[in-house]
Amino acid sequence: MDFMKMLKAATLPIGIMIAMVIAADVLTLIPVIGLVGVGLSGLAFFVLNPILLGWSGFKAAKEMGADLTGSAITGALAGLVVSIVSTIIGLVFSLIGGAVVGASSGAAGAGIVAGIGLIGTIIGAVVLIPVFVVGGAVCGAIGGYAATNMGKSAPAKK
């Protein structure tokens, strides 16, 4: 198994998922429409990310000829990359949010927000990384299964 080929197959799904994380984090910084960012984040996590992780397994099977295991590993690898990058992006945006609060309300508020953001990032990393890796493996395997069995019809019943 060549991990670089797997990453190449999953590059587009990874890029889309990271772009959604950045868009949601940017929207949460804007006070008036912060809830839109939260909603986009939920939509991405529960609907679009499983589809994109499955797509990475599908692409691995179609482009690399990966079997079910290779597709699952590709999905898990994509999930790992996205979760690590998402954690780092979340930390950066929580620190930016602390700076925004500090500029608007004073130093005490900024310290509180930055502390909460740091604690949230640590908890998020502990929870997010295993969820994305396991979920990526499952979705990648499903995508790989779909790719290998696409176009095959069930045998006719006698």
Q: Which residue has the tokens 């868009």?
A: 23
- Residue 72 within any structural domain of the chain: yes
Phi, psi of 10 (to 5 degrees): -100, 5
Residue 88 lies in a domain: yes
- The answer to whether residue 115 sits within a structural domain is yes
- d(CA 131, CA 80) in angstroms, rounded, equals 9
Please give the residue range of the domain that contains residue 140. 3-14+50-148
Q: Tell me: the pLDDT tens digits for 96-139?
A: 766 665 666 666 656 666 667 677 778 877 888 899 999 999 99
Question: How many other CB atoms sit within 10 Å of the CB of residue 99?
Answer: 14
Does residue 34 lie in a domain region?
Answer: no
Identify the three-state secondary structure at position 18: helix
Distance between CA atoms of residues 80 and 45, nearest Å: 14
The CA-based angle 44-35-20, given to 5 degrees, is: 25
Provide the strand spans (E) within 16-91: none
Instruction: Report yes or no on 141 lying in a domain.
Output: yes
Give the pLDDT of the chain (158 residues) as one tens digit per residue. Answer: 678 888 888 999 999 999 988 888 888 777 677 677 777 777 777 888 899 999 999 999 998 888 999 999 999 999 999 999 988 888 887 777 666 656 666 666 566 666 676 777 788 778 888 999 999 999 999 999 999 887 666 565 66
Q: What are the two backbone dihedrals, phi and then psi, of residue 115, each rounded to the nearest 5 degrees?
A: -65, -45
Q: Domain count for the chain, please give it.
A: 1
Task: Give domain status of residue 139, yes or no.
Answer: yes
Whether 37 maps to a domain, the answer reads: no
Decide if 32 is inside a domain: no
Distances in Å between the alpha carbon of 23 and those of 36, 77, 103, 106, 144?
Answer: 10, 22, 22, 27, 29
Residue with tokens 């949010």: 97
